[in-house]
Amino acid sequence: MKNNPRNYPDTMTSALSGRPMTRGEKLVSFKIGKRTCSYMQSGWWCSLTDPDDMEGQLVDGDNQVAEMARRTTKRR
């Protein structure tokens, strides 16, 4: 998957807060039942390093990565 689909600019403005977002991967975790899954989610993020700052936006193929992680966790 291309890391910068559609050749977006280096930074974008968050529609939620107006903060700048940069393109990259961030460790995301979610829980289904008793099972926790963590994976690297590509997208636009306000912070790539702060694990508590989850403000960001997924575009194009980013949503496919999230869906694959959820399906894989459900099957296990």
Q: Which whole-number Å values give the CA distances from 5 to 2, 19, 45, in the listed order?
A: 6, 21, 15
> Which residues in the chain land under pLDDT 50?
1
Q: How many Å apart are CA 30 and CA 19, to the nearest integer?
A: 24
Q: What is the pLDDT of residue 1?
A: 41
CB atoms within 10 A of CB 30: 13
Q: What is the DSSP letter of 6?
A: G
Domain boundaries 5-75, corresponding CATH code: 3.10.20
